[in-house]
Amino acid sequence: MTRADGTTRRRSKADVRELGALLGSAALAGGGAEPVKGRVDWRVSLERNGQTLARVELAGNQVRWLENNAAPGTGTPPAGSLDSVREMLENVFEEPAPGGASKLAPLVPVEVQSR
């Protein structure tokens, strides 16, 4: 997970199960291929063995889903949905985890490790 300020957190798949469900439901709104308007404030990359499988980006009231070589899907889910995702991202982000945080260039994808 990466915030707009470039701070990152790594979490295992088991640690973010509920977040994954919320991200999935928000990403369902992503049907168009238009770019997001405004700055991406959250980026969550799903990786396995160092390879990015998919990425979800939140920007204002929009969500964009990018997966492998498929065209990105951008949409505007209900505001409550994105509010819930952002709240959970903040909560998960602030929880202590092995390895702690690292400061990287803004919006660098971070592996979510499977157990």
Using a cut of 0.75, tell me whether the model's pTM lies above it: no
Asked whether the beta carbons of 72 and 62 are under 8 A apart, the reply is no
Residue 18 tokens, joined: 């509920």
Q: What is the DSSP letter of 24?
A: H
Give pLDDT, residue 108. Answer: 39
Measured between its terminal Cα atoms, the distance across the chain in Å is 17
Distance CA 37, CA 22 (A): 21
Number of Cβ atoms within 10 Å of the Cβ of 100: 9
Q: What is the pLDDT along the chain (115 residues), one digit of tens a residue?
A: 888 888 888 887 777 777 777 677 766 665 677 788 889 999 988 888 888 888 888 899 888 888 887 888 888 888 788 888 888 888 888 877 555 444 433 343 444 433 3
Give pLDDT, residue 111. Answer: 41
Residues 6+ apart with CB under 8 A from 91: none
Kindly give the residue spans of alpha helices, DSSP state H, lying in the chain.
Answer: 17-27, 79-94
Q: How far is CA 69 from CA 23, 36, 63, 87, in A?
A: 20, 18, 18, 30
Domain positions in the chain are: 2-100
